[in-house]
């Protein structure tokens, strides 16, 4: 799916941004880079900034015409600031990623970035099916080119992830831990209550809601078996003392 | 809301990354930058890379101690790659942003980034309430520092935007509770450790990781002020007893 996505830089001016683009792409599982008329490439600064993503620079295509490069693409999204994309429908970065990923399951797609100084020309944007923008603060909307690439590639990877994977495993890395049986939890709560009653923190005649509040804390934490063992050991040591 | 969010760089090594961080922040409506022991600041390269965000560099704080900088923060999230944050609960970038935004409506919060070469130290991460990671491709997870800042700040801005629908408040009824300052949590951990050392549950000469595991439980539970008061009262009663 991610292999069907081309990242295209039109006339990039700064060699460092080409390298940073490669790095940003590789961290997000993207490998297909195309440069249209770069000012200066190959260049050592691009390789330095790419760090461990130099393979993407080695394999990138250098072309002289956007139209030809997007000929085989079923979906082409140009990137721009919010107010530039006349006559082309707009998508924010997240929507852009979702569209690209949905299409990339079965076809080649492209995301196109313009040069640092002026962005994509009106003509280039009109060749795109949509334009994608990164929502920004009102008073300063100018992301560095490599930062914009990182942001879009990040959203693309997230979109691919949510499409392919079980969400729970990612959100909750503890899901494979051993969790105690409820009776063991109840036993722990009882021991804690007994200890706090002995220490007069809980008044036996008017216990109030202290225990309920403490239980709420441990429930939210979702104690695993090892943690419960530690807490039981803690209570034993305090009881002895 | 966004004004309550501190972005903290611990020992940044490359001046360009400091400037790119300022630019990334400003595009996403964030203005409060703190540098802990930067290798080289102020420096003209930082100002060049910041472009129109030099005001953030002019006003940034330069300090020598993370602990002091986060003392007034009700929520502190360190950033790390996926596998680094033992004993501190993990959040992906989107969850990180949602947590920060929910809390930032009423209190100061911080997002902390480590140095380029090694990231945050284990000690620094353990001072945090959570750690946030950017989901990446399996074979290359190393984002440039400024790219990581851009990605998190982007998610923070998106979360602030979606917050207008008051999603978090609906999902999480605790989001309006008062949460303790970090120094009060640290004080609680210290008292608990002292108590458990006195009771010989913790061996003073070989303390091991018991306290880290207990802290992990309380961090996951995300104690509010009332709950912390109860736990402090519990410790006082056990100390007297």
pLDDT of residue A74: 85
| Residue where a domain terminates, one of B173, B188, B204 | B173
Q: What's the mean pLDDT when you consider all of chain A?
A: 89
**Do B121 and B18 sit in the same domain of this protein?**
yes
Q: Is the pTM of this model over 0.80?
A: yes
Q: Which of A104, A137, A165 is the last residue of a domain?
A: A165
My answer on whether B41 and B91 are in the same domain is yes
DSSP-derived letter for residue B115 is B
Whether A33 and A148 map to the same domain: the answer is yes
Residues B45 and B26 in one domain: yes
Task: Say if residue B44 is in the same domain as residue B19.
Answer: yes
Compute the average pLDDT of residues B158-162. 88
* Residue A229 lies in domain: 174-240
The Cα–Cα gap between A124 and B10 comes to 41
The 10 Å Cβ neighbour count of residue B133 is 21
Q: What is the pLDDT of residue A223?
A: 87
CB contact under 8 Å between A137 and B29, yes or no, is yes
Give the confidence band of B178 by pLDDT, cuts at 50, 70, 90: confident
Q: Please tell me whether residues A21 and A133 are part of one structural domain.
A: yes
Is the Cβ pair B92, A170 closer than 8 Å? Answer: yes
pLDDT at position A222 is: 79
Identify whether residues B130 and B155 lie together within a single domain.
yes
Q: How far is B58 from chain A (nearest CA, A)?
A: 17
Domain count, chain B: 2
Residue A195 and residue A93 in one domain: no
- What are the tokens at B119? 């990231």
Q: Pick the residue with more confidence: B232 or B178? A: B232
Is A100 found in the same domain as A15? yes
> Among the three residues A165, A187, A207, which one is the final residue of a domain in this structure?
A165
Cβ contacts of B84 on chain A, cutoff 8 Å:
none
Please give the residue of chain B at the shortest CA–CA distance from A81.
B27
Do A27 and A138 share a domain, yes or no?
yes
Helix (H) or strand (E) holding A111: strand A109-113
Average pLDDT over residues A117-146: 91
Q: What is the pLDDT of residues B201-216, one digit of tens each?
A: 998 888 888 998 999 8
Are B109 and B215 within one domain?
Answer: no
**What's the first-to-final CA gap in chain B, in angstroms?**
44
Are A128 and A17 within one domain? yes
Q: What is the pLDDT of residue A61?
A: 97
Contact B226 A220 (CB under 8 A): no
Interface test with B, best of A45, A151, A153, A188 (most B CBs within 10 A): A151
pLDDT exceeds cutoff 50 at A171: no
Q: Which residues of A touch B134 (CB under 8 A)?
A: 27, 154
Lowest mean pLDDT: which of A11-20, A29-38, A208-217, B123-132? A208-217
Assign B145 to helix, strand or coil: helix
Q: Which two tokens stand for residue B7?
A: 């972005």
Can you give the pLDDT at residue B170?
46
Residues of A in contact with B198 (CB under 8 A): 241
User: Which pLDDT band, with edges at 50, 70 and 90, does A167 fall under?
Assistant: very low
CATH number of residue A20's parent domain: 3.40.1280.10
CATH number of the domain within which A228 lies: 1.10.8.590
Over residues B173-189, the mean pLDDT reads 83
Residue B6 predicted with pLDDT over 60:
yes
Q: Determine, for residues B226 and A213 on separate chains, whether the beta-carbon distance falls below 8 Å.
A: yes
């Amino acid at each position: 799916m991610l292999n069907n996505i081309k990242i295209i830089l039109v006339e990039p001016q700064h060699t460092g941004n080409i390298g940073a683009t490669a790095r940003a792409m590789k961290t997000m599982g993207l490998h297909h880079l195309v440069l249209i008329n770069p000012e200066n490439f190959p260049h050592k600064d691009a390789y330095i900034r790419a760090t461990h993503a130099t393979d993407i620079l080695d394999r990138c295509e250098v072309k002289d015409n956007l139209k030809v490069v997007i000929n085989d693409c079923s979906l082409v999204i140009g990137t721009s600031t919010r107010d530039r994309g006349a006559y082309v429908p707009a998508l924010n970065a997240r929507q852009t990623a979702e569209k690209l990923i949905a299409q990339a399951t079965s076809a080649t797609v492209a995301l196109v970035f313009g040069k640092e100084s002026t962005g994509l020309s009106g003509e280039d944007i009109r060749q795109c099916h949509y334009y994608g923008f990164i929502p920004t603060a009102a008073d300063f909307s100018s992301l560095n080119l490599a930062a914009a690439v990182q942001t879009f590639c990040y959203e693309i990877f997230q979109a691919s992830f949510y499409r392919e994977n079980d969400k729970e495993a990612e959100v909750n890395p503890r899901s494979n831990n051993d969790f105690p049986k409820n009776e063991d939890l109840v036993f722990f709560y009882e021991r804690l209550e007994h200890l706090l009653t002995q220490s007069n923190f809980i008044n036996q005649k008017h216990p109030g809601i202290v225990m309920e509040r403490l239980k709420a804390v441990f429930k939210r934490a979702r104690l695993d078996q090892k943690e419960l063992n530690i807490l039981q050991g803690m209570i034993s040591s305090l009881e002895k003392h």
